[in-house]
Structure 1
Amino acid sequence: MKSLKIAIIAGEESGDRLGGALMAALAERAEITWFGVGGEDMAAAGLQPIFPLDEIAVMGFDAIVRRLPQLLRRISETATAVAEFGPDVLIIIDAPEFNHRVAKRFRKAMPAVPIVNYVSPTVWAWRPGRAKAMRPYVDLVLALFPFEPEVHARLGGPKCVYVGHPLYERLRSLRRGGEGETLLVLPGSRRGEIDRLMPLFGDVLARLRPELPVRLLAVPRHRARIEALLASWPLAPEILSGTEGQREAFRSARAALAASGTVTLELAAARVPMVVAYKLDWGYRQVKRLHRVLPIVTAPSMVLANIVIGRNAIPAFLEDEATPEALAAALGPLLLPESPERTCQAEAFDAFDAAMGVEDSPAERAADAVLTLLSER
C-alpha cells in the first residue's frame, strides 16, 4: 500500500490510549504521516499534536458549558487545520461533543475523504436519533461493544463493525483464582461523582459492617479529597491507586461496591461480583426530569455488562433508588461464598465473555477495518 496521510483526533485520555494502540497497529501495515490531536500515547506513536489534549478533555454537562467558548474555537481551528493537511482519512475517537462537530465541518470542506468514528456514541442509551444524524458525515463506526452494529443498523446509522474492547482484553488477566478476601469500593474517577457517592458508600458500610477487609481504589489526582471524605466513614479502608493498585484490588476482591461507568466493564472482565450506584450532577438531573415528558433515555441498564448480555443480572441503583438500605441488602449476599446471588453473576460473566471475546487485538481489528475502508475507496 502507498504511504498514507492520516488525521486522528482524540478528545480525552481514554481516547488517547485507543488512538496510540491504533496508530501502532496501522504503522505496522503502512507508511503513515500523522496529524491531529492526542495525548501521551499518541505522541509516543508519532503524533505531533495541534494543541495539548487537556484543552478539550472536559467531561460532564456542567464542565462543557463552562468551557464552551474555548471548545467552539478549538473545533473551528481543528477542522481548518485538518483540511489543510489533506488526509486520506480522518479518524475521530470518542468525545462526540467535540469530534462530531469537527467531522461535520471537515466533511463540508473535503467531502470525498472518508471519516471513521472509533467508539460509537451511546445511541443505544440516549438520544437514539444521533445514529441516523451521523450518516452524512461518518462512513464507518468502530464499535467497542458487540451489540452496537445491530443498533446502528436498526436506527439507520452508518456502517458499524465490532472490533472489541481493549479494557476487556486487559482486565481478563486480573481474574482471581478463588473467592477473594476483600470488599472493594470504587467511588468514581471524577471529583463530582466522588463527592456525591462517598457519603452514600460510607452509610452502606455502616449498615453492612463487613467482616472482610475493605479496600478503596482511588484515582491518584483525587486521593486527597477521598481521604478527607473518609473522615465520616465507620471504618478506615486500605487505599490503593495506580495500575498496580488496581491489579492488586481486583485480584483480591470478593465483591465490589462501584460507581456506574467504565469500571463496571472492568469488574465484569475480571469476574468480580458487584453492586452499582450513581448520583447525577445538576445537568443530568435535568435530563432525567425531561425524560419523564419526552423520552430520550433508552438504555435498559447503566451497567455495561447487563446491556451486553441482555438482562439485568448485576443490581444497579440510580438517584433516589440508591439508598444505603437498598445497596447494603444487595451487597451483603455477594460477600457470602457460593450464594445464589454470586452464582447469578458468575453465569452473567460467562455470557459476557462469550459476547465480548475477539480473536485478534481490538487495535489490530480496528486497523484492518480502516485499511479495508480505504482500499474500497
Structure 2
Amino acid sequence: MSLTDRAAAARAPTSGKGGPTGGRDDLRIFLVAGEHSGDALGGKLMHALNARCKGRIHYLGVGGEQMEAAGLASQFPLSDVAVMGPLSILPRLPRIISRVHRTVDAAVAAEPDAVVIIDAPEFTHPIAKRIRKRAPSIPIIDYVSPSVWAWRPGRARKMRPYVDHVMGLLPFEPAAHQRLGGPPCTYVGHPLIEKVDWMHAVDAAGLAERLQLDPGRLTLVVLPGSRASEVTRLMQPFGEALELLQQRRVRPQVIIPVVPHVRPLVERHMQSWTVTPHLVEGEEDKFAAFRLAHAALAASGTVTLELALAGTPMVVAYKVDGIAAQLRFLLNVQSVVLANLVLGENAFPELLQEDCTPVKLADALELLLRETPERQAQVTALARIPHKMLIEGSSPSAEAANIVLDYAVNGLRPGR
C-alpha cells in the first residue's frame, strides 16, 4: 500500500485507539518554524503534503505568511520569535521563553501524528525536547540539519533522544550524522535545486540592455553579503581589489546584487571606490547578473551554492570580528564554502580573515577573468555540482513530504 493510500486509511474512522490516528478522521501535523526562511520551507512542505493527501490534513503550530496561506493556524505571529543575534534576542528573551512553553503546551494538547521542527535550532530544539519529555510517542522530524558537520559536532549525538529523523538540505549531511552518532538523516534536496531551470532561463540579455553593458568587456558580479556586518567588513577590501585589477589593465564591468535593507550601506561604501558598479535588486536580476558574469567575488554563504548552480566561477571571502576569529579552531570542516563541501574538494578559493586582503583577492580574481587553467578547473567543477544536488524524479518538498507522511501514518517504529 502506498503512503497516500495509508494516509487515506488513517483518515478513515476507526474505533477505540487501534487506528493510526486514534479514531480521528484526519491527520494532524504540528509544524514549528522560528524564522522567515523556515516559513518558506514549511509553506512548500505543506503544499506538497496537501498534494499527496488532497488537503485533508489539519495543521497547527507556529509559522508565518507562507505557512498560514497553506493552511496553518499559527499559535502567534512569527515576528514574536524571528529575531537574529544575541543583541536582538536578549530584550525579547522573556517573550521567546513564554512562546516556547506555549508552543509545547499546544503541541501536547493537539496530540498530533507528527511534529516537524523547521531550522532555527535555538528556538525549535528546546520545543522538541519538551514535547519528547511530555509526549514520547509523537514522532519528531527536524527539517534542516544544524551545522553539526562544521562546528559543535557533539550536537548530533545530543539530538538523537528527541529527534527521530533529520531531513538534510545538503548531500553530505546523512554521512555526517552517521559518523557523529546523530539521528537518521535523509538528504531531501536543497530548495535551490527547484530553481535551476529558472536560473538558466532568466533574461540576462534584457538586464545587459537595461544596464547598457558593453558586450566587448568582461562582467564581474560582487556580493558583499546581506547583513550590515558583512557589508561593513567586506566592501573596503573588495573595492581595493577592484582598483588593483584596474591598475593591472583588468577592467571588468561590475554588478552588485543588493537586498533593500543594506542598499544604503553599500552605496555609502561605494563612494570610496574607484570603480562605479551597477546595483540591482530582486531574484531575477540577481540570477541574470550571475549568468552575465565571467566571475564572482562573494561573501561566504548560501550564495556560493546559488553561484555554483548558475555556473559562475567564484572567489569567496569572509571576515568576522576579532572574538569570532579566535573561535576558528572549533570549525570541523576543511572549507567554509558550501559549494566546496558539496563537491568534497576545495575547488573554489576562500580568502578568510587575514587572507581577505586586496592583493590576494585581486590575484585570485585575475586568474578567473583570464583564460587560465584555474578558470577551466572551476568550470569543470561547476558542471558536477548540479548532479551532486539534484533529486532524481522528485523535488525537495515532495521528498520531505514522503518522510513526514511516513512518520505521521506509521508512527515510531523500533529500529528506525
TM-score (norm. length: structure 2) = 0.84
Supply the distance in 2 between the matched residues of 1:216 and 1:356 (Cα, whole angstroms). Answer: 27
Q: Which moved more, 1:131-140 or 1:39-48?
A: 39-48
State whether residues 151 and 331 of structure 2, in contact with CA within 8 Å, keep that contact through their aligned partners in structure 1.
yes
Change (3 A) 1:164 1:333: same
Among residues 97, 100, 103, which one is paired with 1:75 in the alignment? 100
Letter paired with 2:48: A
Q: Which moved more, 1:303-312 or 1:164-173?
A: 164-173
Asked if 1:224 is matched to 2:264, the reply is yes
Aligned equivalent of 1:303: 337
Letter paired with 2:380: E
Shift of 1:371: 1.2
Change (3 A) 1:102 1:59: same
Supply the distance in 1 between the matched residues of 2:91 and 2:253 (Cα, whole angstroms). Answer: 41
Q: How does 1:344-359 map to 2 (within 5 A)?
A: 344-359=377-392
Provide the secondary structure at the position in 1 that maps to 2:320. coil
Provide the secondary structure at the position in 2 that maps to 1:48. strand
Shift of 1:129: 0.4
Asked if 1:240 is matched to 2:265, the reply is no
State whether residues 132 and 158 of structure 1, in contact with CA within 8 Å, keep that contact through their aligned partners in structure 2.
yes
Shift of 1:368: 0.7
Shift of 1:155: 0.7
- Give the greater-gyration-radius structure (CA): 2
Letter paired with 2:220: L
State whether residues 169 and 190 of structure 2, in contact with CA within 8 Å, keep that contact through their aligned partners in structure 1.
yes
Provide the secondary structure at the position in 1 that maps to 2:74. coil
Supply the distance in 1 between the matched residues of 2:284 and 2:384 (Cα, whole angstroms). Answer: 28
Supply the distance in 1 between the matched residues of 2:230 and 2:106 (Cα, whole angstroms). Answer: 36
Provide the secondary structure at the position in 1 that maps to 2:226. coil
Supply the distance in 1 between the matched residues of 2:334 and 2:60 (Cα, whole angstroms). Answer: 38
Q: Deviations over 1:39-82 (max 9, x none)?
A: 22212211222222233223345544554343323222222222
State whether residues 61 and 107 of structure 2, in contact with CA within 8 Å, keep that contact through their aligned partners in structure 1.
yes
Shift of 1:212: 2.0
Backbone CA RMSD of aligned residues: 2.0
Supply the distance in 1 between the matched residues of 2:106 and 2:264 (Cα, whole angstroms). Answer: 40
Among residues 38, 55, 68, which one is paired with 1:15 in the alignment? 38
Q: Deviations over 1:134-176 (max 9, x none)?
A: 0010001001111111111111100111111111331453248
Asked if 1:59 is matched to 2:76, the reply is no
Provide the secondary structure at the position in 2 that maps to 1:29. helix
Asked if 1:369 is matched to 2:403, the reply is yes
Q: How does 1:1-377 map to 2 (within 5 A)?
A: 1=7, 2=11, 3-30=26-53, 31-65=56-90, 67-175=92-200, 181-209=218-246, 210-281=250-321, 285-292=322-329, 296-336=330-370, 338-359=371-392, 360-377=394-411
Give unmatched runs, 5+ long, in structure 2: 1-6, 12-25, 206-214, 412-416
Q: Deviations over 1:316-356 (max 9, x none)?
A: 111111111111111111112x4212211122122322211
Letter paired with 1:348: A
Q: Which moved more, 1:237-246 or 1:220-229?
A: 220-229
Shift of 1:247: 2.7
Provide the secondary structure at the position in 2 that maps to 1:113. coil
Q: Deviations over 1:182-220 (max 9, x none)?
A: 110111111221112112211111111242210001012
Provide the secondary structure at the position in 2 that maps to 1:100. helix
State whether residues 237 and 358 of structure 2, in contact with CA within 8 Å, keep that contact through their aligned partners in structure 1.
yes
Supply the distance in 1 between the matched residues of 2:237 and 2:86 (Cα, whole angstroms). Answer: 22
Q: Which moved more, 1:141-150 or 1:35-44?
A: 35-44
Q: Which moved more, 1:37-46 or 1:16-25?
A: 37-46
Q: Deviations over 1:228-264 (max 9, x none)?
A: 2211111221100112221321221111111111101
